[in-house]
Amino acid sequence: MREYLSNIYTGLMTVFIGMKITLQHVFTKSVTIQYPDVRVPMVDRVRNRLYVNMDDCIGCDQCARACPVDCITIETVKSLPGEDLGKTSNGKKKALWVTKFDIDIAKCCYCQLCVFPCPTECIYMTDTYEFSEYNRQNLIYNYSTLSPEEAEQKVINFQKFEEEKKAAKAAADAAAAAAKAKEGEAK
Ligand code: SF4
Ligand code: SF4
């Protein structure tokens, strides 16, 4: 009988202690947040997803060369005489078509080493930290403002220009050589 009553007492005390703890937590300030409805504010200078403002990119490749994991791929084509690519917001004249500017963010280690050498400050880290993807390919960000067809056309245009320049130089050299030979004959 004594053991029976003791078990009832223990049971009631256990429920009472449990309810006391529960009640205490009802009035205690929560340490968790209701993510994603509520978000932790990011600190200044946070290093999350990279962004490139292509309006200011001059295609100098310095960011790609600074990257320790080679996750930036840049390809450029020289502009042709007469083509005006405009200027960056800090007044630098643009002379290259940026036909490819890819960042494989899956490889990025967020070191920010690409940001410091940029002469136009157009590559920087943002506070965006939610960019998970099901397909890894989607983590390669393409920043070039040219479509693949336009990029290909820029390459073709430049090759054509170079060939024409070479042909013109060869013709000028041949004409000069012929004139020199004629001059020699006249003497
Ligand atoms: S943050 Fe670092 S790893 Fe990422 S692209 Fe820039 S240099 Fe490369
Ligand atoms: S360093 Fe800046 S300007 Fe040069 S290619 Fe990279 S993003 Fe463009």
In this structure, what DSSP letter does residue 136 have?
Answer: G
Amino acid present at 35: Y
pLDDT of residue 172: 93
Find out whether the beta carbon of 50 lies less than 6 Å from any atom of ligand 2: no
pLDDT of residue 187: 67
Q: What is the pTM of this model?
A: 0.80
Find out whether the beta carbon of 62 lies less than 6 Å from any atom of ligand 1: no
Do the Cβ atoms of 101 and 142 come closer than 8 Å? yes
pLDDT of residue 1: 86
**Measured distance between the N- and C-terminal CA atoms of the chain, rounded to whole angstroms:** 142
Find out whether the beta carbon of 62 lies less than 6 Å from any atom of ligand 2: yes
Atom of ligand 1 nearest to the CA of 70: 8
155's CB contacts (< 8 A; 6+ apart) are: 77, 99
pLDDT of residue 40: 86
Atom of ligand 1 nearest to the CA of 47: 1
Find out whether the beta carbon of 64 lies less than 6 Å from any atom of ligand 1: no
Of residues 41 and 102, more confidence is placed in 102
Do the Cβ atoms of 112 and 52 come closer than 8 Å? no
Tens of pLDDT, residue by residue over 134-167, are: 999 999 999 999 999 999 999 999 999 999 999 9
Tens of pLDDT, residue by residue over 47-71, are: 999 999 999 999 999 999 999 999 9
DSSP 34-98: -TTTS-PPPPTT---SEEE-GGG-----HHHHH-TT--EEEEEEEPPTT----B-TTSPBP-EEE
Hey, which of 50, 52, 93, 122 would you mutate to test ligand 2's pocket, going by the most ligand atoms within 8 Å of its Cβ?
A: 122
The predicted model gives 81-91 an average pLDDT of 91
**Ligand 1 centroid distance, CA of 68 (Å):** 7
